[in-house]
Structures are given as structure tokens and as C-alpha cells.
Amino acid sequence: MDIGRFLLTSITTTALAFVVGMFYAGFRRKITARVQNRVGPPVYQNFIDVVKLWSKKSNITHGVMQHLAPLWQIATSITTLMFIPILVDSTFFVNLTFKGDLIFLLYLMVVGSLGMALGAGEGGNPNSAIGVTRGLTQMIGFEIPWVMALVALMIQHQTTTIVGLMDVQQASGTWLMFSSPFAFLAALLAMPGMFRYSPFDIVGAPAELASGPISEFGGKYLGTLMTNGSIFAFVKLVLYVDIFMGGATNLVLLVVKTFVLYMFPVLWGLVSPRFRTEQSVRFFWGWPLFFGLLGILQAAFL
């Protein structure tokens, strides 16, 4: 693999993720508005927000760690993106697909959170620290059913790579969400926690915590965080589509599948009030955990 081609594909992938993720965030705001009987902002509103944040004429930071915090996030998102197959058997979007596996992704996806936590901590704002502790606590909650789902799939199909799981779906002709429904349910229920959408948005609750961890971030830092947020949303959606919905053979199908999947946390969030931290952990350790156990039992004994 020569470096020029790799640069081309990786930049294309990142740009794709950025644009799609931004539009998804815009659609989320639009749908929220429509549900609340409003007109809502245009779907490209988030692009404008990012441009505005980057064109702020002054920025403040409290120190090195806060300066680096958005970078941890965005480096994590883009590296994760490189390890996820965008399309099935694509010769273009190869990136680093064959270089890592699911355990690596599981760990990589939390690096950004810890970096962000340190940056938020350096700000010295107690709201940030409270938000971070809530976020980390919630992470323990949703990671367990999510890992259970992945472990179930891995032991059933004797592979730990995403490509392997996609090949299984190609060979059997059915999606894993149908052949391993319990694992899928567990992973799906863990999804809103991963997105931190309502009802699991106590981490950055604006009214209680003054937007929590990001309360000291403004200007270009907030712009980077928003960019990262949309890329990371796309990463998570593609990961779910690849694992449970057989991946996508072309970009249109990918967009359709990810959008349908994205509607689940969005629409659930619209009709849900906010959980307290311990309530959300108890939620994740309730039914999702049960479905995860069923998934593992199915994988181990059927």
C-alpha cells in the first residue's frame, strides 16, 4: 500500500464521515423540531455552527491538557474510522481495515473520552468534573451489554475481526441481527448510552451542569469537538451496520442503513426524560444485560 493512495482514501473517508455525520446531526435537530411542532433550523445548520466556531476571533484555554483534549477525541474518532470497513469488499475504502480487530476498537473508542475528561478536568470548573464522573460511570453501564453482544458474536463465529463477522454474514446470506437477535438487542439498547442522547444525557445536561465537560470549551476547541462528534457518530453507526446489518455494498445503501439505525436513539431520546446516573447504570444492567446473557448462551450452546 503506497502512502499516496492511503492518504487519498483516508482523507476521503474522513470527509465522507464528516459530511454525513454533520447532516445526520442536522437531521436530528430538524426532526426534534418537527416533533416539537417547530420548523427547526436548516439541515446544514451544523456546518454553519462549525464555521462560526472556527472563525471566533479569540479563544481561551486553561492549559496544555485542555488544549490537547479535543485532539484526543478527534484522533480517536479518525483512527477508529480507519479500522472500520466502510463498504463490503470495497477496494477503495481499504484504509487500515485488516490491521486491527474488535477488542482494539473497543479500547480505542474510549481513549477520546479519557483525554476529554483530562482536558475538562484541567479547566477547573467543578461542573466539568461532575459531568466527567457521570460520563465515566455511565460508560461502565453501557459498555457491559455492548461487550456482551460482541463477545457473543465473536465466540459464535470464531473470529474477532469486523471483516470476519461481515464475511460470516456474506456467506450465510442473513444479517447477524436476525441470526443473533439477543446480541443485537443488547447492543441496540446500549446504543443511546453510547451516543449520550436523552435519556442518558445527564453528562452534559445544560440546565444542571452548564453543559458539563465542555463548559470551558469555546471557539475552535468547541468547533473541533463538534466536528469530532459528527465523525464519531458516523463511526459508531457504520460499526453497528457492519456488525449487525451485513455492511453495505454501496454508499447509498450505507447512508440508508445508518440513517435508519440512527433514528433509533434519536426518536427514543425525543420521548424520554432524563435518567439520573445511577438510574441509567441500573437500566443498562437490567434488560440489556439480560439480553446480552441470552446472546452469549445462544452463541455458546446453540
Partner 1 sequence: MSNLVIILAIFGWAILTYLAFKINKTLGNVFVGVLALALPAYFFTYTPSDYTVSVMGMSLQFGFTSFASLFAMLVVVLSSFALLYSIPYMNKKDRLGWFYMNFMFSVGGMMGILMSKDLVSLFIFWEIMTWSSYLIVIYQGKKVNKVGLKYMIFSAIGAYAMLMAIVLINKWSGNVNIEQFFASFPNYSSAAKLLSSLLLLTGFGVKSALMPLHVWAPGAYTKSPMSYTAVFSGALSKMGIYGMALVAVNLYVHSNMPIMGEVIAWAGAITAVLATFWAIFQNDIRKLLAYSSIGQLGYIAVGLGIGTELSVFAGLYLAILHGLFKGVLWMVVGAIEHRTGKTDFRDISGLIKKMPFTFFVALVAIIALAGMPPLSGFVGKWMLYESMITSNHFIMVLFIFLSSTAAFLYCFHFLYGLFLGQQEDEFLKDVKEVPVLMMIPMGLISLSLIAFGTFPGLIFKPIAQAMSTLGFENVTWRMSSLTNAWGNSMFLKPANFMFMAVFVFFLIIITVVNHKKTKKVGTKDIANGGEPIRDEDNLHYSVDIYRPFYRVISPIMKYKVETFYKRISKGIEEFFQFFRRIYSGNGQTYALYVVIFLTALLILSSTIF
Partner 2 sequence: MVNDKESRKIVDIIQDFARKSSLFVLAYGTGCGAIEIPPTMTSRYDAERFGIRGAATPRQADVLLITGYLATKSLKRVIRAYEQMQNPKYIIGFGSCTINGGMYWDSYNTINRLDMYMPVDVYINGCMPRPEAVIAGFAKLQKLIQAGKADGWERYQNNLEFYRKNQKKIIHNWVMPDYNW
Residue numbers of the site for partner 2 (CB under 8 A)? 29, 33, 36-42, 45, 48-49, 51-52, 55-60, 206-207, 209-211, 214-219, 222
Residue type, position 99, single letter:
K
Annotate 163-199 with DSSP letters as a single string. Answer: HHHHHHHHHHSS-HHHHSHHHHHHHHHHHHHHHT-TT
Tell me the C-alpha distance between 82 and 98, whole Å.
Answer: 10
Tell me the C-alpha distance between 241 and 247, whole Å.
Answer: 5
Question: Of 101 and 270, which CB lies nearer to partner 1 in the complex structure?
Answer: 101
Question: Of 222 and 254, which CB lies nearer to partner 2 in the complex structure?
Answer: 222
Nearest distance from C-beta of residue 122 to partner 2, angstroms: 14
Q: Which stretch binds partner 1 (CB under 8 A): 24-32, 34-42, 133-141, 242-250?
A: 133-141
Q: Which of 231, 247, 14 is nearest to 6 (CA)?
A: 14
* Dihedral of the alpha carbons of 8, 78, 103, 280, in degrees to the nearest 10: -150
Question: Of 52 and 276, which CB lies nearer to partner 2 in the complex structure?
Answer: 52
By CB under 8 A, residue 111 contacts partner 1:
yes
User: Phi, psi (5° rounding) for residue 206?
Assistant: -65, -40
> The cell 435519556 sits on which residue?
199
Nearest distance from C-beta of residue 43 to partner 2, angstroms: 12
Residue 136 interface partner, choices partner 1, partner 2, none, CB cut-off 5-8 Å depending on type: partner 1
Question: Of 75 and 220, which CB lies nearer to partner 2 in the complex structure?
Answer: 220
If you ran DSSP here, which 8-state letter would residue 36 be given? T
Question: Of 152 and 238, which CB lies nearer to partner 1 in the complex structure?
Answer: 152
C-alpha cell at position 104: 482494539
Q: Which of 76, 189, 188, 194 is nearest to 135 (CA)?
A: 194
Three-class DSSP category at 272: coil
Residue 20 burial (CB < 10 Å; 0-12/13-18/19+)? buried
Nearest distance from C-beta of residue 201 to partner 2, angstroms: 12
Binders of partner 1 among 190-249, rule CB under 8 A? 210, 215-216, 219-221, 224
- From 70, 193, 212, 213, residue interacting with partner 1 (rule: CB under 8 A): 70
Tell me the C-alpha distance between 283 and 141, whole Å.
Answer: 8
Binders of partner 1 among 148-177, rule CB under 8 A? 148, 151-152, 154-155, 158-161, 164
Residue 129 interface partner, choices partner 2, partner 1, none, CB cut-off 5-8 Å depending on type: partner 1
Q: Which stretch binds partner 1 (CB under 8 A): 103-111, 174-182, 192-200, 238-246?
A: 103-111
By CB under 8 A, residue 38 contacts partner 1:
no
Tell me the C-alpha distance between 76 and 170, whole Å.
Answer: 29
Tell me the C-alpha distance between 21 and 41, whole Å.
Answer: 16
Tell me the C-alpha distance between 93 and 96, whole Å.
Answer: 9
By CB under 8 A, residue 107 contacts partner 1:
yes
Residue 137 interface partner, choices partner 1, partner 2, none, CB cut-off 5-8 Å depending on type: partner 1
By CB under 8 A, residue 296 contacts partner 1:
yes
Nearest distance from C-beta of residue 143 to partner 1, angstroms: 5
By CB under 8 A, residue 13 contacts partner 1:
no
Residue 214 interface partner, choices partner 1, partner 2, none, CB cut-off 5-8 Å depending on type: partner 2
# binding residues, partner 1 (CB under 8 A): 82
User: Phi, psi (5° rounding) for residue 273?
Assistant: -75, 180
